[in-house]
Amino acid sequence: MKFRNPPVNSLSLEFLTEFVISLEKLENDKTFRGVILTSDLPGIFSAGLDLREMYGRNPAHYAEFWKAVQELWLRLYMSKLMLVSAINGASPAGGCLIALTSDYRIMADNPKYIIGLNESLLGIIAPFWLKDTFVNTIGHRAAERALQLGMLFPPAEALKVGVVDEVVPEDQIHSKARSVMAQWLAIPDHSRQLTKSMMRKATADKLIKQREADIQNVVSFISQDSIQKSLHVYLKKLKQKRG
């Protein structure tokens, strides 16, 4: 599955909705057992959430958008499909969210590419369920430091801290993803899927039980004047940078 939402594969409401529909189609077709997630845009895996969905809109829109973000995470995190992220570009924030839900993460060895949860730098915070996923992946202390500082790791550091499982030359990333997929699919589906569920269910259930409260918390948080001002400043900088 290749992401193509120029210029930077931002996770807009439309993109999130289409992503979930596409994933659902693949899951319902029993001929598919695994999916490689990658980008069709050079130099970018996904720049993360489309912050324009969180700025200058009404609370109902924020709620709809956040529900779609939750849905994507839940669908990917608990998918019965074997998911490999072939990270062939920069992957901050929501891009890292997608990668963290995968069963295996391979990153292209290019020092310009970065990955991590940098929400704190934008004046916002990662939701508790994404924090939990990060802790499950790299451990409590490393996650605490990375989240507070909004750290973005180049490939070698991402590998060292455990954000990714492997770093390979860029021209080998897709062949490596296919060979990893073959290795995982050599395991009987039922035992692999049950093990995955056993490892991840408690983290997913935490969100499922608190979905509405999480939406209301986020809507309340991003509706604050101070947060809207932070987003305004960041989006203005982004526009100037692109311009």
Amino acid in the structure at residue 55: Y
d(C-alpha 121, C-alpha 87), whole Å: 22
d(C-alpha 42, C-alpha 225), whole Å: 36
Q: Pick the catalytic residue from 11, 23, 49, 147.
A: 49
Report DSSP letters for 8-61, one per residue: TTEE-HHHHHHHHHHHHHHHHSTT--EEEEEESSTEES--EE-GGGGSS--HHH
Q: Pick the catalytic residue from 23, 37, 118, 207.
A: 118
Amino acid in the structure at residue 183: Q
The answer to whether 78 and 126 have CB atoms below 8 angstroms apart is no
Helix/strand/coil for 168: strand
Is 123 one of the catalytic residues? no
Helix/strand/coil for 31: coil
Q: What is the rounded end-to-end Cα distance, in angstroms, of the chain?
A: 30
Is 118 one of the catalytic residues? yes
State phi, psi for 138 to the nearest 5 degrees: -120, 0
Is 49 one of the catalytic residues? yes
Q: Pick the catalytic residue from 53, 83, 116, 119.
A: 119
Is 212 one of the catalytic residues? no
Region for 190 from its dihedrals, namely left if φ exceeds 0, alpha if ψ lies in -120 to 50, beta otherwise: alpha
* Tokens (6 digits) for 45: 């895996």
* Tokens (6 digits) for 105: 């993460």
Q: Pick the catalytic residue from 34, 48, 94, 95.
A: 94
Residue positions annotated with a catalytic role: 49, 94, 118-119
